[in-house]
Amino acid sequence: MLFFPGILIRPSTDWLVQGIQAIPFSIYRELGHMLTYTLPSLALLLYLIYGGEGRQTNIHLDAAAELPGKKSFSGLKDIAPGKQDIVPFVIGFPVLVITGLFIAFMIPLFTAAAAPPRIEGPYNFIGWLIVILACLGTGYLEEIYFRYYLLSRLEKAVPRTAVRVIFSTALFALCHMHDGLWGVLNAAIAGLFLSALFLKFRSLHGIALAHAGYNMFVYFMGVV
C-alpha cells in the first residue's frame, strides 16, 4: 500500500487522453517526489525490516533473525554489497533495457492503447545528479519492497514461490498504472524477471542497481 499514494504525485496522466508526446524534465518535480515520497517510504521500509528505534541497520540478515523483535528473512545473504551482486546486475540491466526497447518497438504496431510520452532528460550537471539520486532511490525502494520484503516476508505464510511472485509482480505492475497499458505490461515482465533473479541469487543490490540503471537509461534516451 506504500506505493499507491506515489501514483498521485507522479507526472500527470493527461497524456492518456490528450496525446502528449513528451514530459519536460523538472528538477523541482524530481526533488519533490524524492523528498516527499521516495525517501520517507524507504525509511519506513527499513524501519519495518529492522524493527524498532535504536536498532543498528548494518547487521547481517541471518543475525537479525535471531534478535528479538526482528523479522525473519531466512536464506538471504548478507545485506552488505558483495560479489554476489555482480552477476544479477550484469544480467539484469541489459535484459531490462532490451525489454523496454522491445515494448517501445511494439507500441506503433498496436493502436488500441495510447503510447506513453517520451520522458525528457536533464541538460546540465545538477539535473543529472538529481536524476542519478532519484533513480537510485526508486530502484532501491521498489526492489526492497516488491522483491526483498514481499517475497521473503511471505515465505512462511505463502510457501508456494509462484504465488508470492505473482502477488508481488501484480502489485508492482499496478503501481505503474500512470504509464498506461504498455507501462503496466513492461512492469509486469520486468517484475517477473527481477523476481527470478532475486530468488536465484538472493541479491538485493544487484537487482536494485539494475533497476536504477534502467531508469537512468530512460532519461538518457530522452536527450539523444
Q: Identify the residue whose cell numbers are 538485493.
A: 204
**Strand boundaries in the chain, DSSP class E:** 22-23, 118-119
pTM: 0.81
Q: Which amino acid is at 219?
A: Y
Residue 148, classified by CB atoms within 10 Å of its CB into exposed (0-12), middle (13-18) or buried (19+), is buried
- pLDDT of 8 reads 47
Q: Each residue of 150-195: pLDDT tens digit?
A: 888 788 888 899 999 999 999 999 988 877 788 899 999 999 999 9
Banded pLDDT at 85 (limits 50, 70, 90): very high
Within 13 Å of residue 69, how many CA atoms lie on the same side as its CB? 9
Cβ within 8 Å of residue 70, ≥6 positions away: 50, 51, 64
Note the pLDDT tens digit of each residue in 183-215: 899 999 999 999 999 999 988 999 999 999 999
Predicted confidence at residue 224, as pLDDT, reads 66
